[in-house]
Chains A and B, each alone.
Chain A
């Protein structure tokens, strides 16, 4: 072993203090935070970080947030956080955190709801469930733009669309409450027709959203012939 440099344990297990370099408002409820990390390591699209807040009296709160950025963004991650009114971590990020603030995080974690670039994929997101899917879409655009990947994105109104200026031909938006004026595309909840059209040629499906949304989407996918083993889901319940 002589001559080898001793290796200190790095990410993902250790807490580290990152610096917020950019705050971007996406929608009235969602903001994206770019965080520069001293112990950055590349994540797999779909992975999450844990965030820990500490009050002066030692009280702590932890939550998990999906990474929205591509791992090609070296040295930093982007977390998009939905503001939950009765939460305690998401309101802090929305109401307190500004550029230059330091935040404590560790990650990246979990390796099942991840796209490794291995196959054409169908992405199905409801509301802020689009966040981990955006990491996959962004990464695919930068690494293998010829590979088929479609995002089906269900939102209530035009004001609720996260990453609105980045959605291109590879994204299919459906408005469940109120479409924008003159909208000629899909409206209403996702259904088997939308999913089988968008999921043509897909070898794997990633579905993320509320439990009700995920349950509905998974049931439609099973009905269109997608095998259960090819459907990966991530559900968020009440958290914040």
Chain B
């Protein structure tokens, strides 16, 4: 921490007090929902989407779109935090909890790589995915998840920076070791806890 003061700077966009304590350090409240993607937006028709859980597991699982839609569906109110500094407070998604998806899978490792249509990957510890902390979601604020935000389905891990919430998610590979994913290999933090401001690998 430095004692540096920016000459002539006064806050212009200060967040209302009732929301301020929901903003992690260095974040600002953004009413919109910006789109950030490292390449072209994949086009996956909903009926062709499916989800797998594989890797070091006792039992691999696979769901077609129809099968996924019959799983217990939850609405998830949450705040989301993008490493590019915006946070969206008081939003909601709808989908299936990872606790439900991992039932009977018997993971034999402590880590997972989420992989997406289009080739994106991100790594997570299983402890960040279980215990009511992660979902595979197909809805945003009651509407089908738009393609540019990961539709038909994305991972949702609101406690970590939003690059961990892989868009166009195709599956989770359980592993016995931690393997950096796409952004984690390109300068961003391995875990990405917004409350610890774990933005870049040096943080």
Contacts and interface: CB of A to CB of B under 8 A. Distances in A.
Interface residues of A, number: 50
B132 interface: no
A235 B35 contact: yes
Interface of B: 2, 4-14, 25-26, 28, 30, 32-42, 84-86, 118-119, 148, 182-183, 186-188, 199-200, 202-203
A17 interface: yes
B200 A12 contact: yes
A109 B148 contact: no
Contacts of A143: none
Contact of A211 (B7, B26, B34, B118): B34
Contact of A60 (B26, B34, B119, B199): B26
A88 B6 contact: no
Contacts of A54: 4-6, 9
A62 B200 CA distance: 14
A43 B19 CA distance: 36
Given A211-B148, A231-B39, A235-B36, A13 B85 contact: no
Contacts, number: 117
B12 A91 contact: yes
B2 A96 contact: no
Contacts of A111: 186-187
Interface of A: 9, 12-15, 17, 50, 52-56, 59-64, 86-88, 91-92, 96, 101-104, 109-113, 211, 215, 218-219, 221-222, 228-229, 231-239
A200 to B, nearest CB: 20
A12 B202 contact: yes
B200 A109 contact: yes
Given A88-B11, A102-B4, A215-B41, A13 B30 contact: no
